[in-house]
Amino acid sequence: MGRLNLFIWLGRILLALPLLWLPQLANAAAYATGGTGKYKSEILWLTWGSSTNPLGLNGQPLSNGAVSKASVQVVNGVNIEVQCKLQNSSGGLESYASGGYHGDVFDDAYNIGGPESANKLVAGLMTRNQTTNFQISCTSEFVGGSTRTPTSLRGFAISDAEAMASNGSEYIVGAAKGDWSVIERMGTNNDPYYVQ
């Protein structure tokens, strides 16, 4: 590869990264203010789809590099900053405010503004009629003035908005370091729920 070709190649990468990454920034994550969920004041939900609305924006396509971040005050002058990034997506993901489907009960448990179409908490990732693989990588640190100290998160919650199809055509497979626990289950029936 000649020197000129190398600079052209580097120039294309540097130009493409801001175009792909910057529109995906989300300014915050949010705690649910409504619903019957047991952990409203304990789970900080990632929000997706907007660089200006901290609650996210529904129905926005999400690609690799999409970010959700939050800064939460721990004590006076010290915040914990969390940033989570969507990586290795096979495509087809979009931001989703739970409540757009009658079988979706996540918004009954965790919402901002009310369940169903009133829900403004865009904490979901959705795909339409295709299998999508992706990773979410998170970092966290204490920030006080100019001092930044990396810290570990207590845990990561993943939620399913509805029961999956009984014929096996809908499913979630998750992998993460550490122990997995079911912390809450919603719904009106006692159908079995399988998680891999």
pLDDT band at 9 (very low <50, low <70, confident <90, very high): very low
Beta-carbon contacts of 81 under 8 Å, excluding residues fewer than 6 positions away, are 69, 70, 71, 72, 140, 141, 142, 143
pLDDT higher than 80, residue 164: no
Q: What's the mean pLDDT in 167-183?
A: 79
- Please provide the size of the chain in residues: 196
Q: Is the model more confident about 144 or about 186?
A: 144
Take residue 192 and report the two structure tokens written for it: 């079995």
The closest of 18, 43, 21 to 32, measured between CA atoms, is 43
84 vs 70: CA distance, rounded Å: 9
> Which pLDDT score, from 0 to 100, does residue 102 have?
74
1 vs 103: CA distance, rounded Å: 56
CB 98 within 8 A of CB 114: no
Take residue 41 and report the two structure tokens written for it: 């004041």
The closest of 67, 46, 47 to 58, measured between CA atoms, is 47
CB 1 within 8 A of CB 26: no
2 vs 23: CA distance, rounded Å: 33
Do strands 25-26 and 67-75 pair parallel, antiparallel, or not at all (unpaired)? parallel
pLDDT higher than 80, residue 156: yes
> Which pLDDT score, from 0 to 100, does residue 187 have?
66
159 vs 169: CA distance, rounded Å: 18
